[in-house]
A and B are shown apart, each in its own frame.
Chain A
Amino acid sequence: MLKLANALIAVIAGVGGTVVLFWLMNKAVESLPETWENRLKPYVFIGPAVLVVTLFLIYPALRTVYLSFYDDRSENFVGLDNYGTLFTDPSLRLAITNNLLWVAVVPISCVAFGLLVAVLADRLSPRFESVSKSIIFTPMAVSAVGASTIWLFVYAWRPAGTSQIGLLNAIWTGLGGDPIAWVQVSNFRLNSFLLMVIMIWLQTGFAMVLLSSAIKGVPTETIEAARIDGASEIQIFWRVTVPQIMSTIVVVFTTILIAVLKIFDIIYVSTGGNFNTDVVANRFITELFDFRRFGLAAAIVVVLMLATIPVMVYNVRQFREQEAR
């Protein structure tokens, strides 16, 4: 209870403090001559936000780049050694390969399932449409840790001869197979794929919502015209609908791509990176906390950050285009 009281005090102090701060700064600039007031006021408004972002994101990020050129204890300059380790160390290479596999599978699967649900639900009565969409969307509210627990229960394993409590093994043994400890089987990356299922389960709802509203925005005339020309429903979907919602598909795809690049919680909770399931962001935590190799850990996140730069550039360009209009 004391903690909640503290939190309440923090809210009041935090909000009250910010209000007072803005009020004081505003009063201060208003007392200046008018030209100076107009010149400085915008900076008073953006000041606190810019300060927080600089202190908690920009400066630490630059500092991390700097640290990535230093050794484990951040004492001696080592040049590009950490980056060399990054691409030669077998366990890191495994993590990078797995990450690429995630990137190749998850975003496209989410888009595909999202499209499928959006199209199928669109044909139902409004009531069933909204029910089925809600079912697919609900996992968006579930945390990655919660989702991992939910699915680990589906993948649960009991020795042969005892009754299975995991749904997957129950089905599998029902079909005549021997019970399998699914998350430990890394042949053909089976366990990695099963962990990807968790992410797909979490993210498909997001894809579905955006894609569904895009599909509903496709002008009916274009579909009618294609139908009069004798196109089948499937042709209409691929040749008329999909091209018109392409920009939404790109947004959904890149958003999930960014999330998958940094995928961490699912792996940390379900396998801890064992059984050949490790990924880059989990490796970062391992290097940081278990091995305390700060230089290498820094290099890992710098590479992650570099991987997001194309998306960053794309976002900025989109913004510029919007502003120009």
Chain B
Amino acid sequence: MSVTPPPTADERQVDERTRQAPGAKGTGRRRRGKLLSNLALLFLCLLWLLPTFGLLVSSFRDEDLVKGTGWWTVFANLADFSQWTLENYSEVLQAGMGNAFLNSIAVTVPAVVIPILAAAFAAYAFAWMRFPGRELLFIVVIGLLVVPLQVAFIPLLRFYSTLGLTGTFPAVWLAHTGFGMPLAVYLLRNYMGSLPNEVVESAQVDGASHYQIFWRLMIPLSTPVLAAFAILQFLWVWNDFLIALIFLGSTEANQVVQLVLANLVGSRGQDWHLLTAGAFITISVPLLVFFTLQRYFVRGLTAGSVKG
């Protein structure tokens, strides 16, 4: 009957609201239902927000106060500035977190950058070149997406110890490169494969080689997916605890933030003034990236959901 285009998601809500008003009684029930559903959502949002909020507030409170009273008591006397301090941060930074923060950067940046190029070349070949074994190899890549990484640890540990790499940054860079590769190849190949045939074909007609097409066409066209993968891998490496524990855990000087925070929880579990500040330092960088690059972030996370 109607010839108007189907409404978008946002229009639909409005549509729904106006349509559903057959009588005063119905409207009242609907309004109550809406209030109830909004309250439920508010409750969930509070439940999700409060733990982190409490942590943040506590990290700026004086040690005695953190250990003595609940963080929610600050609202009784917010203006009392003597309760706020940066002491916790300076103490935890000196207790190894400062060094670990630099280590985390030193671990993360190469582990994000190094795999991308090799993955991009492979993805291009899988998407645009014909060769025997192409499908089989790509199926292996898909299969590897969900393999538990632990399955590689014992032989890799031995391999690293013969090479004297245990506890060094290159050990972690290489491990992350290997473990991140299947996802990188998978994501990039799916994206490159979805680009229109004409792009590649017309370049080929003009006499461009695969190598030229790769550098001049594919890399510029693939920027969104390269960014999404970079963010995903960044998050994965920065937040990783398992690989860091296995390959860096033994060398104190090279420990990353996740290791130091976990050690603090284990050894100083009651020192909440340190733990809260340490936890906030640990989660601050990903949160910052999250708030600045939210769109890429969501895209990367959802696209990378298959990773094991």
Chain A residues at the B interface, C-beta cutoff of 8 Å: 1, 3-4, 6-8, 10-11, 14-15, 18-19, 22, 26, 30, 39, 41-43, 45-46, 48-50, 52-53, 55-61, 63-64, 67, 113, 116-117, 120-124, 126, 132, 134-146, 148-154, 156, 163-167, 170, 201, 204, 206, 209-210, 216, 219-221, 251-252, 255, 258, 261-262, 264-265, 268-270, 272, 281, 284-285, 288, 294, 297-298, 301-302, 304-305, 308, 311-312, 315-316, 319, 323
CB distance from A301 to the nearest CB of B (A): 4
Q: In the assembly, what is the distance between CA of A137 and CA of B301, in Å?
A: 11
Q: List 29 A-B contacts (CB under 8 A).
A: A10-B169, A46-B122, A53-B141, A56-B152, A56-B177, A57-B178, A57-B182, A64-B153, A64-B154, A67-B154, A117-B44, A120-B38, A132-B45, A138-B287, A141-B290, A143-B238, A143-B286, A145-B239, A170-B70, A220-B12, A252-B305, A255-B306, A262-B148, A269-B265, A269-B266, A281-B148, A294-B154, A301-B148, A319-B139
Q: In the assembly, what is the distance between CA of A235 and CA of B71, in Å?
A: 43
CB distance from B232 to the nearest CB of A (A): 11
Question: Which of B146, B185, B261, B302 is within 8 Å of A49, CB to CB?
Answer: B185
Return chain A residues, CB-CB under 8 Å to B13. Answer: 122-123
CB-nearest residue of chain B to A204: B48
CB-nearest residue of chain A to B122: A49
CB-nearest residue of chain B to A30: B209
- Please, what's the 1-or-0 string for B234-245, where 1 marks a CB less than 8 Å from any CB in chain A? 010011111001
The yes or no answer to B49 lying at the interface (CB within 8 A) is yes
CB distance from A136 to the nearest CB of B (A): 5
Is the Cβ of A153 less than 8 Å from the Cβ of B109?
no
Within 8 A of A (CB), among B264-297: 265-266, 269, 272, 275-276, 278-279, 282-283, 286-287, 289-290, 294, 297
Is the Cβ of A150 less than 8 Å from the Cβ of B279?
yes
Chain B residues at the A interface, C-beta cutoff of 8 Å: 6-7, 9-10, 12-13, 34, 37-38, 40-41, 44-45, 48-52, 54-55, 58, 66-72, 102-103, 105-107, 109-110, 113-115, 117-119, 121-122, 124-126, 129-131, 134-135, 137-148, 150-156, 159, 169-170, 173-175, 177-179, 181-182, 185, 209-211, 214, 235, 238-242, 245, 258, 261-262, 265-266, 269, 272, 275-276, 278-279, 282-283, 286-287, 289-290, 294, 297-298, 301-302, 305-306, 308
